[in-house]
Structure 1
Amino acid sequence: MTPRIAVGALGGTIAMAADTPGGAVSPKLDADSLVTAVPGLDEVASIEAKTLASLPSPSVGPAEVRAALEFAEASIACGADGVVITHGTDTLEETAYLLDLCWSHPEPLVVTGAMRHPEAISADGPANLLAAALTASSPAARDMGVLVCLDDTILAARHVTKSDSTSLATFVAPGWGPLGRIVEGQVRMATRPVGRFEALPMPGTDVIDVAYHEALLGDDGRQLTAVIASGPRGLVLSGAGGGHVSQTAAEPLVKALDEGLPVVFGTRTGGGSSMVSTYGYPGSEEHLIAHGAIGAGFLHPRKARLLLHVLLEAGYAVPEMREVFSSRGA
């Protein structure tokens, strides 16, 4: 039986075109246009396409991600065997992870996009959409949560990151590697994520009220003080090394922790885990943990921000948040 795959389009480079020959591009193409541009796609699956938004990915927000989740859930309820979401690559890893936090179905939900727009030489969008449809229709991709598929590479949403601004092979999973590949039109899975977590509720708000601060050389704490004074519901620190911050920046951070602000710290390096008990100086992981900070583990701070957002909206208390990060960041 031919698989049924639903394709939801959110915009991005894969859907961009210029107003004039050789001009700069912006989102123009709808879902049907993307689908009809892929040779052989109808041989892979029966496709139902819908345009959900037409945005460059830096402008995608919680409302669009929620619309994508609702589209995917409705498609599965109507009998689809899998779902593909097309998206710009700039923030694709964040949308994929937020969807992964809330996706409860065994059917594959695959996010894809393009590094080259449709009018460029060797545009990669059609090949990526075909590979994503192959992945979404494959029994081997079931029960793996949300996947990302570009450049014939299949990666887990919780590990994937964009590593290069222009390379076709930009999406990688540092320290973990891909789950599988597309070879000669076949899905070849090499490994699976360790377990799946219970789906969390997708927040109904369009505001992510979690501040984000990156530790930098010479950080004197003024910016962090201003960020905290703005009144966020939570804060994520993209820390140096194992999740560290300067002694001067630690002062307002510790004060906020002592006053009850949920704070999660991770590593800005792009790989590895936040630390627990190696360093003990002011601003180190031991110092922050002693005041109640939560380690993100292997989660990139950008993804930790999304998990903290979801937990805050779901009403989790800090001790419960700590348990969730302990398991999901492992």
Structure 2
Amino acid sequence: MGSLGGTISMTASDAAGGVVPTLDATQLTRSVPGLSEVAEIRTASLRQLPSASLGYDDLMAALDWAEQQIAAGASGVVLTQGTDTLEETAFLLDLFWKLPAPLVITGAMRAPQTAGADGPANLLAAVRTACHPESAGRGVLVVMNDTVHYARWVSKGDALAVQAFVSNDGGVAARLVEGRPTYFHGGPARAQPLPRPVRAWPKVALVTAVLGDDGELAELAVNAGYEAVVIAAQGAGHVSFGFAQRIGTLTPRVPVVIASRAAAGSTASQTYGYVGAEIDLARRGAHLGGWLSALKSRLLVTALLASGTVAGALGEALENWSKLTRR
């Protein structure tokens, strides 16, 4: 079990005026009744950060460590971290995770000293999931509140509630019943993992289209050196007339991906034909994100570019990867 920080590891600090990451991996495991009866646990404190401050290099280091644990004989790996970016880190790690053994990520919505702290139960459920033979071959999994999610579909649907995580479109993978994950479907076909990054991580902008918006922020991002832009568009992939015209000037310069800003659902591809709708934006050279959320579209574009995909081949790579990873 490797710890990266987050609420699950936080205790009160008078100096900070609130909770901050302090507990290491060994302390976390010692706080869970019955954990030693489930599995033999090896621990490592990889980082001690709130999840908003985790970076790509932190996650690649955690990925290396996780692979080393499997090579050393572990049947599965659990990572603990903060929940703010958990849906992003899980998806990014899933893009690169190449082993059949499960990599399970968990955290907590309540700090350890809080009444009803959920961290110990989440960690116990995560270890039970990582040990279960039916978890193999499913890639990176997120376990929160006795529910197992695929990294591909999971999102944080509530800022503070214990039942914060949902899988709106693909549905949850499993529920834990009497300490055992009960999977609702067979293991999904997974995409070929991406090769490890061969260059510096690119800057990819995420711009949300809003009422009265003409896309100026997207253009400013490109002028500032961002190598691609993901638009969290309205509805099924729609922007204003002015924004559409701006996208037409940007696509010859950088890849532009259109995702939906809605909590669930796919972009359309051949329904709306007005200026600023998906058919028009595709004609202007934009790529449609399909079922990928805007957050995950940005991560996929970032990972593809970092792994050596050239901008001209990005559209085909996006389409192929999305088709292969539908679950």
TM-score (norm 2): 0.95
Q: Is the 8 A contact 2:201 2:306 kept in 1?
A: no
C-alpha distance in structure 2 between counterparts of 1:29 and 1:206, whole Å: 32
- Per the alignment, residue 4 of structure 1 pairs with none
C-alpha distance in structure 2 between counterparts of 1:260 and 1:181, whole Å: 46
Shift of 1:187: 1.7
1:300 counterpart letter in structure 2: S
C-alpha distance in structure 1 between counterparts of 2:6 and 2:247, whole Å: 37
**Aligned partner of 2:280 among 287, 295, 300:** 287
Long gaps (5+) in structure 2: none
For the residue of structure 1 that corresponds to 2:89, the secondary structure is helix
C-alpha distance in structure 2 between counterparts of 1:229 and 1:193, whole Å: 44
Coordinate RMSD, CA, aligned: 1.7
Q: Is the 8 A contact 2:91 2:151 kept in 1?
A: yes
Q: Is the 8 A contact 2:205 2:218 kept in 1?
A: no
Q: Is the 8 A contact 1:294 1:325 kept in 2?
A: no
> Measured at CA, do residues 319 and 162 of structure 1 come closer, stay the same or move farther in structure 2, by a change above 3 Å?
closer
Shift of 1:147: 0.3
Shift of 1:287: 1.0
Q: Is the 8 A contact 1:94 1:303 kept in 2?
A: yes
1:151 counterpart letter in structure 2: N
For each residue in 1:17-74, what CA deviation from the matched residue of structure 2 results, as whole angstroms up to 9, or x when unmatched? 1124995101011111101111100000000010110000111110111111011100
Query: Does residue 319 of structure 2 align to residue 320 of structure 1?
Result: no
C-alpha distance in structure 2 between counterparts of 1:130 and 1:53, whole Å: 20
C-alpha distance in structure 1 between counterparts of 2:170 and 2:320, whole Å: 21
- Per the alignment, residue 95 of structure 1 pairs with 89
Q: State the identity as a percent.
A: 45
For the residue of structure 1 that corresponds to 2:125, the secondary structure is helix
Shift of 1:100: 0.4
For the residue of structure 2 that corresponds to 1:278, the secondary structure is coil
Long gaps (5+) in structure 1: 1-6
**Aligned partner of 1:114 among 73, 97, 108:** 108
C-alpha distance in structure 2 between counterparts of 1:322 and 1:138, whole Å: 32
C-alpha distance in structure 2 between counterparts of 1:42 and 1:148, whole Å: 21
- Per the alignment, residue 299 of structure 2 pairs with 306
**Aligned partner of 1:158 among 133, 146, 152:** 152
Q: How many residues align?
A: 323
Show structure 1 runs of 4+ deviating over 6 A: none
**Aligned partner of 2:54 among 60, 72, 88:** 60
C-alpha distance in structure 2 between counterparts of 1:206 and 1:52, whole Å: 22
Aligned pairs (5 A) from 1:136-175: 136-175=130-169
Aligned pairs (5 A) from 1:128-277: 128-192=122-186, 194-203=188-197, 207-257=201-251, 259-277=252-270
Q: Is the 8 A contact 1:241 1:269 kept in 2?
A: yes
For each residue in 1:75-112, what CA deviation from the matched residue of structure 2 results, as whole angstroms up to 9, or x when unmatched? 00101000000010000000000000000111010000
C-alpha distance in structure 2 between counterparts of 1:249 and 1:148, whole Å: 36
Query: Does residue 44 of structure 2 align to residue 50 of structure 1?
Result: yes
Quick check: 319-328 or 76-85, which moved more? 319-328
For the residue of structure 1 that corresponds to 2:285, the secondary structure is coil
